[in-house]
Structure 1
C-alpha cells in the first residue's frame, strides 16, 4: 500500500515537499480560500502555492490569517494576501473580493472552506445554535460564491470547490446541524454547476472523512484523538491527512478536472461513519481511564442495544448494527465509567 504524503499536525508548512503533480500546474492562477488560516484550508493554500498559485486567505481573525500568510510566503515564495472577512456578512465579502481583485487583477479559483461545528443532541440544540452553523457553512458558501460570480466569474469563468463533510450521507447523533448544513452545500454544488456551467464555471465539492491534525478532529473527539483510533472498517485503515485532502482539491481546481463539474467527491467511509454490521472494532481500555472518548458522555439517555466483552489483550470488543448506541460499564483498575456512551458516529470515534 502506498504511504501517505508527509504532513504535520499543526498549522505549519511542510518541512519538505515532493511534487506528485507538475510544479506549474496552477502557475500564476489566483485562489480565494475561505478558512485558509488553519487546518485543511491552510494546507490547501500551501499546496496550491507550491504549484505556482497565488492565494488570498480569509478568516475572521486578521492576526491569524496574517501569521499564516507569512508562513506560506516563506515556504513557497508565492504571494499570499491575508484578509479579515466574515462569510456571513455580504458587505464584508464584497469588500474582501474587491481588495483581492485590486491586488491581483483576477481570481481564478474559489475554495469555500470556512465552517463551524460542535457536538450537541438535537433535543438540546437551540434555534440560534442551529442557525449559526447554517449561516457559516451554507449561507456563507452561497455569499462568497455569489459575490465572486457577479464580480468576476460570470465574465471570465472560474472554478469553485466546496469543502463539505460526509455527515449528510447517513444519520448520526449530535451532528444534525452540521449534517443539514453540509447537505445543503452539496445540493448547492449540483445546482450551481448546472446554472453556471454555460459561463465556463465548474463547481464541485469534496467531503473529507476524519482528517488528522485538524481543529475539527480535536474539538469533536478530544485531545490525542488520533492516538485513540485502533482499527477502521474503511479500506485504508487510518486517518486521512490534510495534504491528501489538499491534493484532491488541487486536482478538482486544476485543468486535470476540466470535464468534472457538479460532483460531490467523498472521503471514506461514505458516511464518515463506521461500517458496523458484522465488523468488530477494538478500543484500548486504558484510553478511557485518561479521558472519555467524547465530550458528551452524559448528555443522552441510552438504551443498551448490543453486547460487549473484553478480549485477552484487555480491549473492549463492541459489535452493533448501524446506528446503535451502546451503554457499557468499563472495567479499569481505579475506576468504572457507569453508563459510558459509545456511539457509531464519525470514523474518528470508535465505539
Structure 2
C-alpha cells in the first residue's frame, strides 16, 4: 500500500525528523514514509554504505531527498556530532525516532556480560543518548515528538532474548517518565511496539529456522504477519498532529498477537 492512500503528502510538512537505525528494516520504512509525507529526514546507522544505499532508495521511491550521517548511538560524542549535523543542515529536529537496536539469540545461562552490555548499550543507552542530545532544542521550541521503538508487553518476558527484553522494558518505563516530565513543554513521548514482522534483520538474528514465521501466524488473531508498512504508517500517525493528545503510552501494532501469551520458544 502507498502511504498517500492514507496520509496527505503534507502530513509531516515542516518537520525535521531523525531516524536512528534508518538504513534498513523498519527504520528505513519509517524514514521513507516520513519523507513521502513531507518531512526533512536524517537517517543514521553505523554503516555508511547502508546509509548511502538507503538515501538513494528513498529518493527513488518518494522523490524526496534525505540526509544521513554514520553514527554509533552508544557514543555520546558521535551523537553530539549528529545533533550538530542535523541542526546546521536542517534546523532543530521536531521528531526523533529511537529505532537503533542490537539483538541476537542467547540462552540466559550462557549470556556473558559482553553480550548483555552490547544490547543494553545500543538499545537503552543509545535511546537515552539520542534523546538527551535532541530534547534541549525541543524544550526551547516548546514542541516535539520522541518515538521509541519497543516491544509489546516486555514485562511478559522475551525467552531467548532476555537482554533485549530488559532493554525494551526499561525504554517503556523511560517513555512514560519522559512523557510526564516534558508534557508541560509540548513534547510527546510515545512507544511503538511492533509485532512479528518478516524483516531480514529479524529472520537473521532471531529466527534461524527453515520456516521461521509459520509458528507465529497461528498466534495472531488476524492470521497474517505484519509488514513494514504497518509500522511506518503507525509511526506517521503518531508523529503527526492527528496524535496530538497521545503520549506516555506503548502503542502495540501486532495484529492482536499480544492477546495471547508468548508463544513457546525452542531453547
Answer whether TM exceeds 0.5 for this pair.
yes
> What's the CA shift for 1:78?
1.9
Query: 2:242 & 2:3 partners in 1: Cα distance?
Result: 21
What secondary structure is seen at the aligned counterpart in 2 of 1:166?
coil
What secondary structure is seen at the aligned counterpart in 1 of 2:131?
helix
Q: Deviations over 1:211-270 (max 9, x none)?
A: 023412332112664663474232211110001100011111000000011010113377
> What's the CA shift for 1:18?
4.4
> What's the CA shift for 1:133?
0.4
> What's the CA shift for 1:38?
0.3
> What's the CA shift for 1:172?
4.1
> What's the CA shift for 1:273?
6.8
Query: 1:269 & 1:275 partners in 2: Cα distance?
Result: 11
Instruction: After TM superposition, list the pairs within 5 Å mapping 1:131-210 onto structure 2.
Output: 131-150=117-136, 152-156=137-141, 157-166=143-152, 168-210=154-196
Q: Deviations over 1:53-74 (max 9, x none)?
A: 1100001111211111111122
Cα distance 1:169–1:238, how it changes in 2: closer, same or farther (>3 A)?
A: farther
Residue 262, structure 1, aligned to residue 248, structure 2: yes
Stretches of structure 1 that go unaligned for 5 or more consecutive residues are: 6-15, 277-321, 323-342
Query: 1:231 & 1:165 partners in 2: Cα distance?
Result: 18
List 4+ stretches of structure 1 deviating above 4 A: 223-227
Query: 1:205 & 1:197 partners in 2: Cα distance?
Result: 15
What secondary structure is seen at the aligned counterpart in 1 of 2:69?
strand
8 Å Cα contact 1:218/1:225 also seen in 2? no
Cα distance 1:256–1:193, how it changes in 2: closer, same or farther (>3 A)?
A: same
Residue 110, structure 1, aligned to residue 96, structure 2: yes
Match of 1:65 in 2: 51
Deviates more, 1:222-231 or 1:89-98: 222-231
Residue 86, structure 1, aligned to residue 92, structure 2: no
Query: 2:117 & 2:215 partners in 1: Cα distance?
Result: 32
Residue 246, structure 1, aligned to residue 232, structure 2: yes
What secondary structure is seen at the aligned counterpart in 2 of 1:221?
coil
Cα distance 1:41–1:231, how it changes in 2: closer, same or farther (>3 A)?
A: closer
Going by fraction, where is helix more abundant, 1 or 2?
Answer: 2
TM-score by length of 1: 0.71
> What's the CA shift for 1:91?
0.7
Task: Find the structure with the greater CA-based Rg.
Answer: 1
Query: 1:29 & 1:18 partners in 2: Cα distance?
Result: 17
8 Å Cα contact 1:130/1:177 also seen in 2? yes
8 Å Cα contact 1:29/1:107 also seen in 2? yes
> What's the CA shift for 1:169?
3.4
Instruction: After TM superposition, list the pairs within 5 Å mapping 1:1-351 onto structure 2.
Output: 5=1, 18-150=4-136, 152-156=137-141, 157-166=143-152, 168-222=154-208, 225=211, 228-229=214-215, 231-268=217-254, 275=260, 344-345=264-265
